[in-house]
Amino acid sequence: MRAAAPPYPVTVRMPFSEEDLAMTFPTTPVSPVAPLLAELCRIAGLPFERSETLPPEAYIAPEFHAWEVKQIFHRDWLCVARADQVAEPGAYLRLDDLPDRPLVLTRDEDGVLHALSRVCRHRFMDVLPPETTAEQGRLERLVCPYHTWTYRLNGEFAGRLAGAPLMRAPGFDRAACRLPDHRLEEWNGFVMLSLDPAAPPLAPELSGLDAALAGYGLTGWETACTLRWNGVPANWKVALENACENYHHLGTHATTLEPVLPARATRVDDCDGRWFTTFTPASPAGPDGHGPLSAPFPPPPGLSPEQLSGMTVAGIFPNCLLALLPGNVVWGSWWPTGPVTHDAVFRVLVPPGTSRHRDMPGHLEAIRALLSRVQEEDLVAIRGVQRGLSAAPGPPAGRLSHLERPLWQFQRYLSARPGGRHQRSR
């Protein structure tokens, strides 16, 4: 039973401090994610030598998932496509991976890219439903298949309503019916998107990575194939963190990657901020004679001796990872579909001018086969870690090895999002 309200105004006099007052009589309800964010900030503030894992709740709790979607996936810069996937004016590519934000990437007649919402301004229909339309193709206009409202795709008018048949509603405001056109930046041929109109530009944050990867000349690389694993039963961060370190080659990939890309030879560069790099020297050939450095065409001319001799891994938080070899680049991304599920997408890129090489089909088949096998091995670890995180009672934190520095860096990235309080030390 609720206590009756006192028949007089409640007044509080000093010596309570303002902080005491705020705690005793909060004017806004305390967010259920606040204790987790506080713990995230504590962990992210540890020096790397003392770093530890995030608490299990960060991989399970619906409220933490909701915070990530709001503050990261609906605000920060995300790597969503390669520019060559929408190479020509009139091309489109459906983007289905952002949580709760169906989008389409289009290239207008002037060659400018647009990222438009696919939610029709009439009655919310997906204007390019996956059930009836191809993932990519060509379009002159966007026609909603429900009642045929039509949207323009050209230049400054992209997203504007061009036609709404039989609409005679008094006061109907056509100009207000515009599909939002979101911010894009192109970085080395990758299309980066932010849903936040006020997000600071991305390019300055990546200038150091530009220099590190300049030899690859990534802008001209071509997208050769895509592999997807939808509905993986694990939090997206489990998969991302797995991909950020080669330490697990020792166990997970003991017979596949470890013999040719050994964990103990990996160098983890001393990075902070949004991106990181690592390098692992490669054996020229594996047990079957086909190694990570094998390719039926010469390597890109700008590669350094080191880049010619092994695998560079470059990560861009929150969820973009590149594994760079002289003959191919695998671009991985992991997209949350719930607190404990995600979709994993891998795209294979090949150097400029090589996609029509006569031996490319065999080269790609070898890459696909290895990638599939490695991902199946990774999925055992990813699902197993998620089971461990969900075990009751919650296990205590684990410590990180020197090869897991990118995980500590990722914690610092997370804690620097809005709502976190950690300030970078540099």
Which parts of this chain interact with ligand FES (CB under 6 A)? Answer: 120, 122-123, 125, 144, 146-147, 149
Which residue, 179 or 371, is less far from Fe ion as judged by CB? 371
Q: In terms of Cα–Cα distance, which of 249, 250, 242 is closest to 385?
A: 242
The least CB distance from residue 154 to ligand FES, in Å, is 20
Q: How far is CA 287 from each of CA 193, 256, 264, rounded to the nearest angstrom?
A: 41, 9, 19
The minimum distance between CB 334 and Fe ion, in angstroms, equals 12
Q: Which does 123 bind (CB under 5 to 8 A by kind): Fe ion, ligand FES, none?
A: ligand FES
SS3 labels along 163-208: ECCCCCCCCCCHHHCECCEEEEEEECCEEEEECCCCCCCCHHHHHH
Say which entry of Fe ion, ligand FES, none residue 282 contacts (CB below 5 to 8 A, set by partner kind).
none
Q: Are 386 and 378 in contact (CB under 8 A)?
A: no
Q: How far is the CB of 170 from ligand FES (least distance, A)?
A: 18
Distance in angstroms (rounded) separating the CA atoms of residues 65 and 60: 8
8 A C-beta contact, residue 275 and residue 208: yes
25/172 with CB nearer ligand FES: 172
- Amino acid at position 319, single letter: N
Which token pair is 40? 């995230």
Residue 125: contacted member of ligand FES, Fe ion, none (CB under 5 to 8 Å, by partner type): ligand FES
Please identify, using beta-carbon distances, which residue of 45 and 129 lies nearer to ligand FES: 129
Contact partner at residue 378 from ligand FES, Fe ion, none, CB < 5 to 8 Å by partner kind: Fe ion
Backbone angles phi, psi at 374, to 5 degrees: -65, -40
Distance from C-alpha of 58 to C-alpha of 40, rounded to nearest angstrom: 8
Residue placing its CB nearer to ligand FES in the complex, 146 or 157: 146
Identify the sign of the CA torsion 348, 244, 320, 337.
positive
CB of 331 to ligand FES, least distance (A): 33
Q: How far apart are CA 332 and CA 323, in angstroms?
A: 8
Residue type, 287: P
Quick one: what does residue 147 bind among Fe ion, ligand FES, none, with the CB cut-off 5 to 8 Å set by partner type?
Answer: ligand FES
Residue 4 neighbours by CB distance under 10 Å:
6
Task: In angstroms, give the least distance from the CB of 243 to Fe ion.
Answer: 6
**Contacted entry of Fe ion, ligand FES, none for residue 144, CB cut-off 5 to 8 Å set by kind:** ligand FES
* Residue of 4, 2, 65, 64 lying closest to 38 (CA atoms): 64
Shortest CB 381 distance to Fe ion, Å: 7
Residue number, 343 or 378, with CB nearest to Fe ion = 378
What three-state secondary structure class fits 341? strand
Please choose which of Fe ion, ligand FES, none residue 122 contacts, taking the beta carbon within 5 to 8 angstroms, the exact cut-off set by kind.
Answer: ligand FES
| Residue 157 contacts which entry, ligand FES, Fe ion, none (Cβ below 5-8 A, type-dependent) | none
Collapse the DSSP code of 287 into the 3-class scheme (helix H, G, I; strand E, B; otherwise coil) and give the result. Answer: coil
- Which residue number, 122 or 373, has a Cβ lying nearer to Fe ion? 373
**What's the min distance (Å) between Cβ of 176 and ligand FES?**
15
CB-side neighbour CA atoms (13 Å) of 45: 10
* Smallest distance, ligand FES to C-beta of residue 162, A: 12
Contact partner at residue 264 from Fe ion, ligand FES, none, CB < 5 to 8 Å by partner kind: none
Retrieve residue 83's tokens: 């520019």
The C-alpha atoms of residue 426 and residue 424 are separated, in whole angstroms, by 6
Side chain identity, residue 346:
F
Task: Kindly list the strands in the beta sheet with 78-82, ordered across the sheet, starting from the edge strand earlier in the chain.
Answer: 78-82, 190-194, 181-187, 113-117, 103-107, 91-95, 136-138
> Residue 163 or 231: which CB sits closer to ligand FES?
163
223 vs 102, 189, 386, CA distance in Å?
22, 10, 31
Smallest gap, in angstroms, from Cβ of residue 166 to ligand FES? 11
Nearer to ligand FES, 125 or 162 (CB): 125
**Shortest distance, position 130 Cβ to ligand FES, whole Å:** 16
92 binds, among ligand FES, Fe ion, none (CB under 5 to 8 A by kind): none
User: Measuring CA to CA, which residue among 381, 395, 402 is closest to residue 257?
Assistant: 381
Q: Which residue, 206 or 322, has its beta carbon nearer to Fe ion?
A: 322
- Residue (149 or 221) nearer to ligand FES, CB: 149
Which parts of this chain interact with Fe ion (CB under 5 A)? 378
